[in-house]
Structure 1
């Protein structure tokens, strides 16, 4: 899971601790936002809606 903030963002912009960031294209959205759930695997896998990069990849609970 990538939670690093980009230096190209507006420094006055505030993000919740549950905001995810795509490491490839820097798309940001809440964890329950517009991320794409990959149902093809038996894992919790979220994909970026912009570039398709895997943002979260962990075993299902």
Structure 2
């Protein structure tokens, strides 16, 4: 039995570990240069380029 190389689909899933700004072309890894808004309840990340909210999750 031989092992198959990873498929193109699994490579794409691995590459999708970043965030994309909905308002401008900025993209970065999840732990990249996004700005955390500590004044918001829960977790809110904003784009360092244009200030748009990228992640807005309520507190548990």
- When normalised by structure 2's length, the TM-score is 0.70
Q: How many residues align?
A: 48
CA distance in 2, matches of 1:60, 1:26: 28
CA distance in 2, matches of 1:18, 1:52: 21
- When normalised by structure 1's length, the TM-score is 0.69
- Give every structure 1 segment of 4 or more consecutive aligned residues whose post-TM-superposition deviation is greater than 2 Å: none
Structure 2 unpaired stretches of 5+: 1-11
Q: Which structure has greater helix proportion?
A: 2
Q: CA deviation at 1:26?
A: 1.5
Taking only aligned residues, the RMSD between alpha carbons, in angstroms, comes to 1.7
Counterpart in the other structure of 1:30: 29
Deviations 1:4-24 (A, max 9, x none): xxxxxxxxxx88221100011
CA distance in 2, matches of 1:60, 1:34: 22
Counterpart in the other structure of 1:18: 17
The yes-or-no answer on 1:53 pairing with 2:52 is yes
